Amino acid sequence: MDIKVNVRESEGDAYVVDLAGEIDVYTSPKVKDAITELIDREHYNLVINLEKVRYIDSTGLGVLIGGLKRVREHGGSVNLVCTNPQIKKIFDITGLVKIFGIFDDEQSAMKALA
């Protein structure tokens, strides 16, 4: 019922945010803080890895959307790695598949940033 957040630098100024656990109204502020800090440090190309996320609610989606909006103002983008069918379904239902790049593995998500 908790979230683990890990931020690491990757190739060509891109950053990866690894999330593991459940993103809900209680845990999403922690995710928001990590993304906000990266953007404040002027990193605008982000991969958010949701492979180990078992659950996400609308507040979690809101945090991802907020991050995307901010990096776009700087010509950046947010790509997601997501394999969990239930979570993919949420992105489908909400039409967020049209907004985010969603990839099956980190390598593809990274490549698509460039």
Binding status of residue 86 toward another protein by CB under 8 A: yes
Binding status of residue 30 toward another protein by CB under 8 A: no
Question: Among residues 5, 65, 70, 77, which is the contact residue for another protein, using CB under 8 A?
Answer: 65
Binding status of residue 24 toward another protein by CB under 8 A: yes
For the chain, how many helices (H) and strands (E)? 4, 5
3-class secondary structure per residue, 54-66: EEECHHHHHHHHH
Total residues in contact with another protein, by rule CB under 8 A = 22
Contacts of residue 111, defined as CB under 8 A and 6 or more positions apart, other chains included, come to none
DSSP state of 101: E
Binding status of residue 58 toward another protein by CB under 8 A: yes
State the residues that interact with another protein by CB under 8 A. 1, 22, 24-26, 55, 57-59, 61-62, 65, 86, 89-90, 93-99
